[in-house]
Structure 1
């Protein structure tokens, strides 16, 4: 009897399969991952995977969709829709950082898509839409005199996202309290951007 035959199989749901899939995609890259790789990592047959999803691209869409849905939900939160533009922007920056930390594997995967498939093109388009909506908040805050006018709004937006997105490269869960990371991002960004 092999070890696999000796152990009880985990009952997979789409959610648990997705967690394994994202880990493998982040390790090997989407293009470098086969359904066989996913089957081995999950410890289930390929046919069991196909019982839950149509294929690898659907898994990618579910994974990056989870990250995108969490990011777009921030823009509908009361603190992102009412109040002074600079306060709304600060809320969005803090919450974006928190979502990145909470959904780290999913956001990491989202940041690595390059547009090689229909799903990746869709994800990049949604990311651009999110970026544009945040850039509007930056412009509004500059127009209201709440942020420095000498930093072009699109550049400020790119720098903010550059700082936030770089977290996926160095942050490891358990290495620092997630609240400390979000506080540091907000303080660094807004101490430098606020109009004086």
Structure 2
């Protein structure tokens, strides 16, 4: 008689399972028991990898935030006209969201109930502010419409991009990462760019 081989969990595979459980149950509604059942390992095995569920949350949202902040360090996000930088950043935001879909989805759902959530919200606000500054610079340069208030335009752009987390699934027929990112850029900048 052979016994079933138990999967070996690494911090990365455990994180992936935890993110799915957090998304399904909500962070506050998830216990270590829920995580151990979903992973098929004991709670003590989880504690071998992490100090608890808040560490898992922090690692998960860090992955999403690191992806987003990484965009701002890329050459096309730092050089050229502000409107071109902004267009590049919006395109890359969509790409990062799609590539890191569960992690960004979780980031978008944190509410600030724990230290890790408050930290994530603060970093997210910093990212949003930096993108808003690009929009403000593009407006000051006359590259985008001046008849839409910058804060409102920023919120609308983030609303469009962030909504992708609610409906996009990798198996969505005909809507791959590139197609979605290009559609967002066309819609956003078709409305934002000043007509020549």
TM-score tier after normalising by the smaller chain length: over 0.9
For the pair 1:195 / 2:161, whether they are aligned, the reply is: no
2:61 to 60, 64, 67: 64
Give TM-score scaled by structure 2 length.
0.97
CA distance in 2, matches of 1:28, 1:164: 24
Deviation of residue 9 (structure 1)?
1.0
**Deviating runs (4+, > 2 A) in structure 1?**
none
For the pair 1:170 / 2:167, whether they are aligned, the reply is: yes
Matches within 5 A, 1:84-99: 84-99=81-96
CA distance in 2, matches of 1:9, 1:160: 45
For the pair 1:147 / 2:141, whether they are aligned, the reply is: no
Structure 1's unaligned 5+ residue stretches are none
Matches within 5 A, 1:42-61: 42-61=39-58
Structure 1 match to 2:182: 183
Other structure's SS at 1:11 match: coil
Q: Kindly provide the CA deviation profile for residues 137-170 of structure 1, in whole angstroms up to 9, marking residues without a partner as x.
A: 0000000000000111111111000000000111
Structure 2 match to 1:15: 12
Give TM-score scaled by structure 1 length.
0.97
Deviation of residue 80 (structure 1)?
0.2
Structure 2's unaligned 5+ residue stretches are none
Structure 2 match to 1:76: 73
CA distance in 2, matches of 1:71, 1:177: 19
CA distance in 1, matches of 2:78, 2:6: 46
CA distance in 2, matches of 1:128, 1:82: 23
Other structure's SS at 1:6 match: coil
Q: Kindly provide the CA deviation profile for residues 158-196 of structure 1, in whole angstroms up to 9, marking residues without a partner as x.
A: 100000000011111121211110000000000000011
